[in-house]
Amino acid sequence: MTASQAQFDWPYPIKWGEEQRVDTDVLVLGGGIAGCWAAIAVARNKGTAVTLVEKARTIRSGAGGSGCDHWEHAVTNPCCPLTPEEITQAQIDSNDGYNNGISHYIEAKEGYDRLLDLEKMGGKIRDTEDEFEGAEFRDEKTKLLFAYDYVNRYTIRTWGTTFKPALHAECRRLNVGILDRTMVTALLTEDGKQGGRVVGAVGFHVHTGRFVVIRAKASILCTSRPSRLWLFTPDLAGISEFRPMQACGDGHAISWRVGAEFTMLEKAVRAEWSGARSFPPYGTGNTHNTWYPCNMVDATGRELPWVDRDGNTLETTADRCRPAPGQKFFLKGGGETWFQKYEFLGPDLPPTEELIRMGYKLPFYADLSSLPEMERKAIWGLMIGEESKTKIPIKRMYEDAGFDPSKDQLRSYGDSWWSAKFKPSERQFFGLPGGLVNNWELRTNLEGLYAAGDTLFASDCHGHAAATGYYAGRHAARYAMSAQEPMIDENQVQRERKSTYAPAKREKGIAWKDLNVSITKIMQEYCGAVKSDELLTQGLNVLQDLREGEGASVFARNPHELMRSLEVLNILTNAEIVIHSSLVRKASCKQLHFMRSDSTEMDPPEWHKFMVVSRNGHGVRLRELPIDYYAPMGENYEKHNQDYIRENSI
């Protein structure tokens, strides 16, 4: 039987109600990029036990599980003339301050250390076979390959399909206790109280249904960011959004319930990618990211002009990889939408409308064949191949169907990589969305709870997840060494056990997909492109009705469906957090893509701050943080990381 339409007894042994108890020092929730690095850091701290819980299989789980073709902001590599301060400040400034100065400083300061670490574990990070000898983007001494800005050389092209298996093997070598196919469903707190010290978590096995209770001195949340709030296509559920559906923001919902603080969740951009409408990511002609700095031609074969930030035409491919006259460095180009400040603006094509006005004919194509050979090989072969989701669905399948990058021009669909147009009300967490608030130890406001990777506010990228994961692991391990024995509240365990199993106890009801569709409809209507207090308040009420109605009747016939049902209930909670976050920001803000119809002012100075929300009983607590609450970066980093600085200077 290879098709679906099947109905039969569940093939895994069923262990509903059985309970497994685990005791550990540090618990890592989510075994993606940040989670694996966090576990490795803890395990390297002699005598500290670590358990990692992963909903899928650690060997390939998470957004970066199947690859990574470029490692960003590795400024401490020997070929980069920039400093961590410079690159972090640029990212902060280009977002008008709405960025995570702590996590991006850690990324810039330690990201390259992790890359070297990864190489020791078997990850491939340099051109050891000399395939690219003589290329402008290659450093002949270190054999590192760079992307985008070849003068400043802070982004490294990598063979990322090797990374996750190497991390998984290292976790096993270091005796990390791995609980795969286990979904965390709740955090446990001291005395079961909201706001109390986090002392572990509960979850269940998504094949057998067995319940698991884990007691830990410290926990690190590495479950990535929310998704499926505005976009969900039932028939193509797995590609409703860009990232894998396992990572849909469970960690946000479960930490919200125990009182963790969030910021910037009012920021959601107009959707950029969804499988229902877009074409396979990285599989269409464009100039963005993996495809930078590709040649593009129009329907008649005429080459589209690349221009610098001042509109000057760039004649050669190499010109697209240099800063403009008078510019020190640029933060990506080629359709990059997140860093649009003139100071950091990279080379690009003019907008499509302008190209049409200039007489260029649709459709456009990416012309790899007219690129210098090394550039072509770097895009098609290295990056298309090593990027997560390109090795099989793009490189192998296109080549099997006869595509030859040295002869063929690949169609471009719509503008740039997103290859579809979305309605303004269809939002998505892309770029640097909101998330958990952190201090310089990557601890949340709750004692015992740390966070890393894309769970953090204003986070993104593989190197960022690796660096912050390792950093959070170090600090959590240090805390665990002197922390008191954690006490689990058995009443809380029983409460959480009941709500975890609730959908499986129902024999019939609403299917998880229907509930997800309802949430996206509500979010598009009440929390879309333009907000107002009245709309948002109505939205909260409608979500509450949904929770008490359809939400209370969602049902599961096996542990897999239970996983999906609990995910959607978490998505419902995340929708509520987003609305609460939107309600407390009373003025429109361009950088946050946040528009209000009941406030005419855009970016009034008194609103230039982080609005921090957390759950308080059944209400919401609000706190404000200055926009530079983490400053000064260098000084604070040094204050909190003397051990690491000492070890690395030896």
Partner 1 sequence: MTDKALAVGDTDVFIPVSINEETCIGCNLCVMVCQPDVFVPSIDPGGVPVVLYPSECWYVGDCVDVCPVPDCIALHVMDKNKVIWKRKESGEEFQLS
Ligand X SMILES: Cc1cc2nc3c(=O)[nH]c(=O)nc-3n(C[C@H](O)[C@H](O)[C@H](O)COP(=O)(O)OP(=O)(O)OC[C@H]3O[C@@H](n4cnc5c(N)ncnc54)[C@H](O)[C@@H]3O)c2cc1C
Task: Output the furthest CA–CA distance in the chain (Å, rounded).
Answer: 71
> If you search the block for the tokens 């797995």, which residue do you land on?
238
The only residue of 9, 129, 606, 635 in contact with partner 1, by rule CB under 8 A: 9
Site string for ligand X, 386-405 (x = CB under 6 A): -xxx----------------
**Sole window of 51-59, 295-303, 362-370, 616-624 interacting with ligand X (rule: CB under 6 A):** 51-59
Could you say which of partner 1, ligand X, none residue 60 binds, taking C-beta under 5 to 8 angstroms by partner kind? partner 1
> If you search the block for the tokens 């093939």, which residue do you land on?
11
CB of 69 to ligand X, least distance (A): 4
Exposure of 198 in the CB half-sphere (CA atoms within 13 A): 34
Could you say which of partner 1, ligand X, none residue 460 binds, taking C-beta under 5 to 8 angstroms by partner kind? ligand X
DSSP 152-213: T--SEE-BGGGHHHHHHHHHHHTT-EEETTEEEEEEEEGGG-TTSPEEEEEEEETTT--EEE
Question: Which residues in 321-380 contact ligand X (CB under 6 A)?
Answer: none
Q: What are phi and psi of 36, to 5 degrees?
A: -65, -45
Site string for partner 1, 589-628 (x = CB under 8 A): ----------------------------------------
**Sole window of 384-392, 501-509, 523-531, 573-581 interacting with ligand X (rule: CB under 6 A):** 384-392
Q: Are 148 and 333 in contact (CB under 8 A)?
A: yes
Question: Which residues in 150-209 contact partner 1 (CB under 8 A)?
Answer: 181, 206, 209
Q: Are 228 and 41 in contact (CB under 8 A)?
A: no
601-605's contacts with Cβ under 8 Å and 24+ in sequence apart are: 603/96
Of 356, 384, 351, 380, nearest to 281 by C-alpha is 384
- Is residue 288 involved in binding ligand X (CB under 6 A)? no
- Give the whole-angstrom CA distance, residue 121 versus residue 291: 28
Question: Which residues in 485-514 contact partner 1 (CB under 8 A)?
Answer: 501, 504-505
- Give the whole-angstrom CA distance, residue 435 versus residue 419: 27
For β-strands 19-29 and 50-53, DSSP reports them as parallel
Q: Residue 632, preceding bond cis, omega within 30 degrees?
A: yes
Element (H, E) at 522: helix 512-526
Q: Are 75 and 87 in contact (CB under 8 A)?
A: yes
> Which residue's CB atom is positioned nearest to ligand X?
32
Name which of 235 and 635 has its Cβ closer to partner 1.
Answer: 235
Name which of 9 and 485 has its Cβ closer to partner 1.
Answer: 9
Could you say which of partner 1, ligand X, none residue 64 binds, taking C-beta under 5 to 8 angstroms by partner kind? ligand X
CB of 552 to ligand X, least distance (A): 21
Count of residues that interact with ligand X, criterion CB under 6 A: 40
The only residue of 39, 51, 54, 522 in contact with ligand X, by rule CB under 6 A: 54
Name which of 61 and 255 has its Cβ closer to partner 1.
Answer: 61
Could you say which of partner 1, ligand X, none residue 31 binds, taking C-beta under 5 to 8 angstroms by partner kind? ligand X
* DSSP-assigned beta bridge partners for residue 451: 221
Q: Are 293 and 305 in contact (CB under 8 A)?
A: no
* DSSP-assigned beta bridge partners for residue 215: 23, 200
Question: Which residues in 627-646 contact ligand X (CB under 6 A)?
Answer: none
CB of 289 to ligand X, least distance (A): 8
- Give the whole-angstrom CA distance, residue 82 versus residue 74: 10
> What are the tokens at 247?
């990572």
Could you say which of ligand X, partner 1, none residue 391 binds, taking C-beta under 5 to 8 angstroms by partner kind? partner 1
- Is residue 338 involved in binding partner 1 (CB under 8 A)? no
Of 486, 487, 507, nearest to 553 by C-alpha is 507
Q: What are phi and psi of 498, to 5 degrees?
A: -65, -45
- Is residue 403 involved in binding partner 1 (CB under 8 A)? yes
- Is residue 234 involved in binding partner 1 (CB under 8 A)? yes
The only residue of 59, 488, 515, 523 in contact with partner 1, by rule CB under 8 A: 59
Q: Applying CB under 6 A, which residues contact ligand X?
A: 29-35, 53-56, 61-64, 68-70, 72, 183-184, 222-224, 242-243, 246-247, 250, 281, 387-389, 453-454, 460-463, 465
Q: Applying CB under 8 A, which residues contact partner 1?
A: 1-12, 14, 16-17, 56-57, 59-62, 65-66, 181, 206, 209, 234-239, 244-246, 275, 279-280, 283-284, 301, 365, 367, 369, 388-389, 391-393, 396-398, 401-403, 407-411, 413, 501, 504-505, 557-560
